[in-house]
Amino acid sequence: MDRVADGPMSRPPRFIVSNQAIKDGIARVTDGELHHLRDVRRLGIGNLIELIDEAGSAHIGHLARFEADAAIVVLHDNSVPNLSEARIILAAALIKGPRMDFLVEKAVELGASELWPLITARCVVQSPSIDRRQRWQRLADAAAKQSLSTTLTRIAEPLSVASMAAIVQPDWLAILCAQGGEPLARLVRERSSSAILIACGPEGDFDDSERAQMLTAGFVTGGLGTNRLRSETAGLAALSIASGALDEVTIRG
C-alpha cells in the first residue's frame, strides 16, 4: 500500500465526496469523481486517496474495492476539519467569455469560500445559461482539488446588487471596491468578522443607484491602489489582499 510522505508534493490524489457518501468509516466515490479516479488516474486497490467534503474537511483513506457504480474507500482515523474562521465571499460582476472562467478558477486558488456572480446595470452578460453556471462549478471543484484548498468554493446563482445588499449580515465586513477607498488590507486587519464580502463591479463600475444600495446596507469602500484594473484583475487582487491580511490576523491571534 502506498504511504503519504512528507511535503505538499507527496499528497495523495484528491477527490470530492458529499457528507452523505461517508458512513461508518467508509466512503463511496461515485459519478464524475469515480470516472476520474478509475479511468483517468487509473488508481488501484490499496492506493491512498484524499477525500474532501462540502464542509472542507479532508479524509485520508485507501481504495478497498470497486463496485459497479462506486469506488469504496476505507477511511483512516485522521480526518482534518476545516478550521477557517472567516468566509471570504467574492461578489463579482458577470463578464463574458473565458475571462469569467479564469476568474472562477483563480478565485478558488486564492481562497474564496463562495463566488457570487453579480448582475449589474452595466454588465454585458445579464443571464448566463445553466450550462455555463454548471461549468463554473466544475472549474471550481477542479481548482480546489488541484490547489489543495481547504474549502470547496460554492458558485452561487447570479443575483442583483439589491439582492446581495439584502443578504449582508451585521457581523460581516462588506467591502465595495472603489478608487479612493481605505486600503483593503487595513480594513480586514482592523475588524473581526464572521465573513468578508468583497464586491467588484463591471468594466463601467457600479452605477450611482447600486453604490447607494450597498452603502445603505453597510458596505465600506476599500481601495486596491491607484491603477485602474479590469474586472477580473480587481476581484483577484482584492481576494489576494484580503486572504493575506486575514492570515496575518490569524497568526497574530
| Mean pLDDT of all residues in 22-41 | 89
Three-state secondary-structure class, residue 114: strand
- For residue 66, is it within any domain? yes
Instruction: Based on the fold, state whether residues 135 and 221 are members of the same structural domain.
Output: yes
Tell me what pLDDT residue 82 has. Answer: 54
Tell me what pLDDT residue 198 has. Answer: 97
Instruction: Based on the fold, state whether residues 126 and 226 are members of the same structural domain.
Output: yes
pLDDT digits (tens, 9 = 90+) for 92-129: 999 988 999 999 999 999 989 899 999 999 998 888 88
Instruction: Based on the fold, state whether residues 91 and 71 are members of the same structural domain.
Output: no
pLDDT tier for residue 252 given thresholds of 50, 70 and 90: low
- For residue 81, is it within any domain? no
State which of 28, 43, 75 marks the end of a domain: 75
Instruction: Report the CATH number that the domain containing residue 179 is assigned in CATH.
Output: 3.40.1280.10
Tell me what pLDDT residue 1 has. Answer: 40
Q: What is the mean pLDDT of the chain?
A: 86
Instruction: Based on the fold, state whether residues 246 and 174 are members of the same structural domain.
Output: yes
Instruction: Based on the fold, state whether residues 231 and 201 are members of the same structural domain.
Output: yes
Instruction: Report the CATH number that the domain containing residue 49 is assigned in CATH.
Output: 2.40.240.20
Instruction: Based on the fold, state whether residues 49 and 101 are members of the same structural domain.
Output: no
Pairing of strands 172-183, 22-23: unpaired
| Mean pLDDT of all residues in 153-172 | 93
Handedness of CA 165, 169, 170, 175 (dihedral sign): negative
- For residue 38, is it within any domain? yes
Instruction: Based on the fold, state whether residues 137 and 214 are members of the same structural domain.
Output: yes
Q: Is 137 left (phi over 0), alpha (psi -120 to 50) or beta?
A: alpha
Q: What predicted TM-score, i.e. pTM, was given to this entire model?
A: 0.73
Determine the structural domain holding residue 203 and report its residue range.
87-252
Domain count, the chain: 2
Instruction: Based on the fold, state whether residues 68 and 101 are members of the same structural domain.
Output: no
- For residue 139, is it within any domain? yes
How far apart are alpha carbons 235 and 127 in whole angstroms?
20
| pLDDT at residue 192 greater than cutoff 80 | no
- For residue 3, is it within any domain? no
Tell me what pLDDT residue 8 has. Answer: 43
pLDDT tier for residue 50 given thresholds of 50, 70 and 90: confident
